[in-house]
Every structure is written in structure tokens, then in C-alpha cells.
Amino acid sequence: MSYRRDHRSSKSALFDGLDNLEEGGLRASSSFSHDVKEHDNGKAIESLHDRVAFLKRLTGDIHDEVESHNRMLDRMGNGMDATRGIMSGTMDRFKKVFEKKSNRKMCTLVMAFVVSFLIIYYLFRMLRYVRG
């Protein structure tokens, strides 16, 4: 029995510090663990600083891109307004032309000539491919 007691006491003496391993490791000297923590904090701060700098550059690039797109959209809107004005003037002219019967007949005649020209052009083109 004494052998068992001695064995248990020597075993407990050997593994007394292992309970600390499960709780976060062996306890080192306080100054060493403080230095390690300071070093880890320094690394973490540097990492955060790098990430913040990257995010700052990225948001600056996004801002520049948004400004560029806004300028482009403003120019496009101005172009659309100008086109709307031109189309409005053209539609007013067409309304004036079609209000009178004589102008309506003239428009019909011009359209007939344009359609005739397209038909003749298409026929000559077909003949050229058939002979070709």
C-alpha cells in the first residue's frame, strides 16, 4: 500500500502543473508574459493600422469613381435634354405640315418617291448578285 501512496504522490507531483495547461498554459514569469502580451498587442495594432490604411485608400478610390460617374451622368442628362428639345421642335414642324391638306399631299408624294427609290435600289442590288 505504501508503494501505491508513494506512486500517487510522485505522480501528482509530476502532473501538478498540467491543470494550468488546460486553463491557458504554464505560468511563466510575470515580466515575460507581459512582454509577450505587449509584443502581441504591437503586432495587432500594426495589422489594424495596415487594414485601416487599405480601407482608407479603397474608400478614396470608390469616392473618385462615384464622382466620375456622377459627372458622366450629368453630361448624359444634359445631352438627353438637348435631344428632347430637338425632337420637340421636329414634332411641332410635323404637326404644322400635316395640318394643311396641301402639305399632307406633298408629304405623301415625297414618301412615295422615297419608297420607290428604295424598291428600285433593292431590285438592282438583287440583279447584281444574280449576275455576279
**Is 26 inside any structural domain?**
no
As for how many domains the chain has, the answer is 2
Q: Are residues 62 and 108 in the same domain?
A: no
Q: Are residues 49 and 84 in the same domain?
A: yes
DSSP sequence for 85-125: HHHHHHHHHHHHHHHSHHHHHHHHHHHHHHHHHHHHHHHHH
pLDDT score recorded for residue 105? 81
pLDDT score recorded for residue 60? 96
Structural domain of 39:
33-98
pLDDT score recorded for residue 112? 94
Q: Are residues 49 and 73 in the same domain?
A: yes
**Is 46 inside any structural domain?**
yes
pLDDT tens digits for range 23-43? 454 454 567 788 888 889 999
Task: Please report which confidence band the pLDDT of residue 128 belongs to, taking 50, 70 and 90 as the band edges.
Answer: confident
| Angle in degrees, CA 48, 51, 57, rounded to 5 | 140
Task: Please report which confidence band the pLDDT of residue 21 belongs to, taking 50, 70 and 90 as the band edges.
Answer: very low
pLDDT tens digits for range 43-72? 999 999 999 999 999 999 999 999 999 999
